[in-house]
Structure 1
Amino acid sequence: MGGFGRTLQEASILVAEDNYVNQILIQKFLKKWDVGRIVIVSDGEEALEKFKEEDFNLVLLDLQMPVLDGFEVARSIRSYQKGMKRKTPILALTATSLQEVKDQLIEIGFNDFIPKPFVPEILYEKLILHLSGKDHSEMSV
């Protein structure tokens, strides 16, 4: 695993996902990788409330959620007044094919895309990539 362990141990990650089984799976892997802090919410409104109250190093957003979907949540995050908060890396979690949503993801300012059902190795790689502090403001897909 190399020197990346620290990055994850110090990370605070917000996960917005309405599917209970996915919540459990994601939490299981994040814990296994020693992620410092994991906050899991079930809808977009809750995600924005948490985002407003606390500071996160990364947001994992399911695109298809009740109340507010992932697109709307990301749009709100990207229009934040505080620069640091506005630049928080956002990764999209979706079962939709990338071709269908890529333009929208780029336009809104998502940093990356994780297909569902997610492959733990891919999630891990992308977390490391976006938590490493380098600026990956462009979609790397």
Structure 2
Amino acid sequence: MSDQKRILVGEDSSIIINLTRSVLAFENYEMKAARNGKQVLELLEKEDFDLILMDLNMPVLDGIECTKAIRALSDPVKSNLPIIAISGNINNYTIDEFRKIGFNEFIQKPLDFDVVLATVKKYLS
């Protein structure tokens, strides 16, 4: 039985998905990608994950509404997963606003993948 950590990435950019997959694979994390918040919720319903990286600006259901929906889930494990916001619009929010929405942490785009890995490790170690 593998204790490989599983990360769900909500992101609509193929470039960011592929770069993130490469960086996470380097640390032996398994990654699944969803291109919008609705897909994030669908995957979360069917599978277990250890952490979510969530873009704020996605089609269909954005990262903020998706995070609120995750925090409202009846499953105590899934509703308390660490969720890390990813956005180029981080300056539009305060740390308190991010926490109230339900994010544990946030990372500014363009992504610094050393920061992404350090943040992921902080929650999965």
TM-score normalised by the chain length of structure 2: 0.92
Q: What SS does the corresponding residue of 1:83 show, helix, strand or coil?
A: coil
Structure 2, unaligned runs of 5 or more: none
- Segments of 4+ moved more than 6 angstroms: none
| Alignment counterpart, residue 92 of structure 2, candidates 94, 100, 105 | 100
The corresponding residue for 1:68 is 61
Distance apart, 1:108 and its partner CA? 1.3
The corresponding residue for 1:30 is 24
Q: What SS does the corresponding residue of 2:8 show, helix, strand or coil?
A: strand
Structure 2 distance, partners of 1:68, 1:85, is 18
Structure 1 distance, partners of 2:93, 2:86, is 11
Structure 1 distance, partners of 2:36, 2:75, is 23
Distance apart, 1:84 and its partner CA? 1.1
RMSD: 1.2
| Number of positions where the alignment pairs a residue of Structure 1 with one of Structure 2 | 122
User: For residue 45 of structure 1, what is the amino acid of its counterpart?
Assistant: K
Structure 1, unaligned runs of 5 or more: 1-8, 133-141
User: For residue 17 of structure 1, what is the amino acid of its counterpart?
Assistant: E
User: Identity, % of aligned pairs?
Assistant: 34
Q: What SS does the corresponding residue of 1:38 show, helix, strand or coil?
A: strand
Distance apart, 1:100 and its partner CA? 1.3
TM-score normalised by the chain length of structure 1: 0.82
Matched, 1:89 2:95: no
Q: What SS does the corresponding residue of 2:110 show, helix, strand or coil?
A: coil
